[in-house]
Amino acid sequence: MSDKVTTEQDFWDYVEDHSAFLDLEKSSFHKRLLVYQEGFAETTFFAQKKWLQEVIYALYHFEDFPDISVLVAASRASVSEDSEDREPRYFYTRIERTVLERELNFRFAEMDHDEEVKWTKFFNNRTIFSKKIIEQFANKYLPSYRYDNYEDIQV
């Protein structure tokens, strides 16, 4: 980790600049918590994928955070109209930087610092971001919870 210290202002600047889907009321600097509103991901797989991507973005950006919590809501569990698993779920946990590096076999410190090249190359790397790897990672580390009303979710 670097010597850079993330200030509360740095955190809120990131929140405001990063995504229109970040929930300003539920996200918290003191809890190291980013909450993405309903609509950010529609299905279970895309919620898992977005959760993983957003955790990596945040830990890369906040170099001094040893861990972070991220919540992503999926308004329906399955993309299939025939599926019975269509209840809305949210995916939420705290994850440590070292767990990500170990499980996905990469190091934040070795990531390319050219923004556009870095993220395109990194997230298109199928040895890290295949559907199978994302689902295995989520099954091991990312619990989901059923919800009826997004506004009622407490973290």
pLDDT for the residue 36 = 95
Residue 84 CB contacts under 8 Å (≥ 6 apart), including other chains: none
Q: Where are the domains of the chain?
A: 8-149
For residues 88 and 148, the answer to whether their CB atoms sit within 8 Å is: yes
Q: How confident is the model at residue 10 (pLDDT cuts 50, 70, 90)?
A: very high
CA distance 119 to 33: 22
CA distance 34 to 50: 12
CA distance 96 to 85: 30
pTM across the whole model: 0.86
pLDDT digits (tens, 9 = 90+) for 32-68: 999 999 989 988 899 999 999 999 989 988 999 999 9
